[in-house]
Amino acid sequence: MNFEIESPYFLLLFLLFIPLLIRDFSKKKNSGINVPTTRNMSIAGSFSWVQKFLQFSKYIILSALIIALARPRTYTIFSDRDETKGIDIFLAIDISPSMLAKDLEPDRITALKKIATDFVKKREGDRIGIVEYWGEGITKVPLTSDHQVVLDEIRDMSPNENLTGTAIGEGLSVAVNHLKDSKSKSKIIILMTDGVNTVPNAMPPQFAGELAKSYGIKVYTIGIGTNGFALFPQITSFGIQFFEQEVQIDEATLSEIATLTGGKYYRATSNTSLENVYNEINSLEKSKIKTNKIYNYEEYFRVFLWIALVFLLIDAVLRWRIFRIFN
């Protein structure tokens, strides 16, 4: 809820109070000596409060009218978005324990979270969702234009030693299921993984790629990890320790999925190369959508007009009564 005064220049009319106050003060200061009579004393006793009210009421009436002219109001802002022209994007992110490997700085998942955050901030007007997968796929954020929800989920995501296995096809199919009914002209999935498909009974990645193609969904695939060896986490009797082992990424499958759906496969071997991948995807998938802001106003000038009217009527009635008494 926001507050504004549409025509604040009308508030300058309050400067008219200066000569009025000077006049009223001068009258009081320069009033002569009244010789009291019994009738005058009786009237003064009965109507002194009326005189004070009448002197004060004109300031209330003028103040209410000036504020009404200035038009105070509150408003809320809504976004009007044409869902048929924007881009719907799903981030399918591998959060298996291997994402803690230290071939990126300080590790793969931390580097990914920073770069994905920057990517989301650049996609103003697009709807974004998140699927996280390991041995299975799960929706963490459905398609939404509320990017703060997406950013919060990216910030909080973390691999867990209990999340074993990598089911690329499961993560991809969950994202496809969310995008298949989208009315957007452009639907894309950014699939990120640092390994190979290790769950034999899960949906094959190629089949998930065929599903994406059938619904007109473009898939960009990213293989995260250096060439050669890296320090990987392993659970030991002393807790989680890191041991060097060979980096294995199923580049053939990832490339096949990307080619099949009209996307592109990228290999990110460092923080810089991963950032470059996201920047390239951002430049390739430009949104033509324009989000219009709709303002819903709640006007309050009528309240002040009623205040002015009520005090004006009371003022008129009291002046008429005094006129009748003194005449």
How do residues 100-115 score in pLDDT, each as one tens digit? 999 999 999 999 999 9
Q: Report d(CA 199, CA 259) in Å as an integer.
A: 23
Q: Are residues 105 and 138 in the same domain?
A: yes
190: confidence class by pLDDT, cuts 50, 70, 90? very high
What is the pLDDT averaged over residues 246-259? 94
Domain that includes residue 322, residue range: 2-30+37-76+295-326
238 and 109, same structural domain?
A: yes
Q: How many CA atoms lie within 13 A of 260 on its CB side?
A: 18
> What is the average per-residue pLDDT within 299-309?
93
162 and 106, same domain (yes or no): yes
Residue 27's pLDDT band (boundaries 50, 70, 90)? Answer: low
**Which has the minimum average pLDDT: 2-11, 50-59, 294-303?**
50-59
Residues 103 and 182 in one domain: yes
138 and 217 share a domain? Answer: yes
230 and 119 in a common domain: yes
Q: Is the Cβ–Cβ distance between 153 and 123 less than 8 Å? A: no
Note whether residue 289 is domain-resident: no
58-67, 204-213, 260-269, 279-288: least confidently modelled range: 279-288
Establish if 82 belongs to a structural domain: no
DSSP for 235-257 reads EETTEEEEEEEE----HHHHHHH
Q: Is the pLDDT of residue 42 over 80?
A: no
List Cβ<8 Å contacts ≥24 apart for 14-18: 14/63, 14/66, 16/62, 17/59, 17/62
Residues 53 and 120 reside in one and the same domain: no
224 plus 299 within the same structural domain: no
**Helix, strand or coil for residue 268?**
strand
Position 205 pLDDT exceeds 80 = yes
- The answer, yes or no, to whether residue 41 has pLDDT greater than 50, is no
pLDDT at 117 over 90: yes
Residue 267 lies in a domain: yes
Which residues on neighbouring strands pair with residue 233, listed in sequence order?
242
Residues 193 and 313 in one domain: no
pLDDT value, residue 291: 61
108 belongs to a structural domain: yes
For 182-221, the DSSP string reads ---SEEEEEEEESS----TTSPPHHHHHHHHHHTT-EEEE
Summarize the confidence of residues 282-286 as an average pLDDT.
Answer: 81
Higher pLDDT, 243 or 80: 243
Pairing, β 127-133 against β 87-94: parallel
Give the least confident one: 8-22, 24-38, 53-67, 223-237. 24-38
Please enumerate in sequence order all residues whose Cβ is within 8 A of that of 99, keeping only pairs 6 or more positions apart, or say none.
Answer: 107, 108, 109, 112, 159, 194, 224
What's residue 326's pLDDT?
63
Distances (CA, A) of 209 to 78, 116, 165, 183: 37, 22, 20, 20
pLDDT for position 46 = 56
Assign residue 163 the CATH number of its domain.
3.40.50.410
- Do residue 255 and residue 106 come from a single domain? yes
Is the domain of 93 the same as that of 218? yes
Same domain, 211 and 275: yes
Mean pLDDT of the chain: 86
What pLDDT sits at residue 45?
52
Q: Where are the alpha helices (DSSP H) in the chain?
A: 17-30, 38-70, 108-122, 147-156, 168-179, 205-214, 251-261, 271-284, 301-326
Residues 171-191 have a mean pLDDT of: 93
Domain membership of residue 49 (yes or no) is yes
Position 85 scores a pLDDT of: 60
The number of CA neighbours under 13 Å toward the Cβ of 95 is 25
SS3 161: coil
How many domains does the structure of the chain reveal? 2
Q: Is the pTM of this model over 0.75?
A: no
Instruction: Please indicate, yes or no, if residue 52 is contained in any of the structural domains.
Output: yes
Is 309 inside any structural domain? Answer: yes
| Residue 196 maps to a domain | yes
131-169 per-position pLDDT tens digit: 999 888 999 999 998 999 999 999 999 887 677 788 999
Give mean pLDDT, residues 204-212: 95
pLDDT of residue 38 exceeding 50: no
The pLDDT value given to residue 113 = 95
Report the alpha-carbon distance of residue 277 to residue 108 in Å, rounded.
14
Predicted confidence (pLDDT) at residue 318 exceeds the cutoff of 90: no
The pLDDT of 287-305, averaged and rounded, is 80
Place of tokens 């995008």: 179
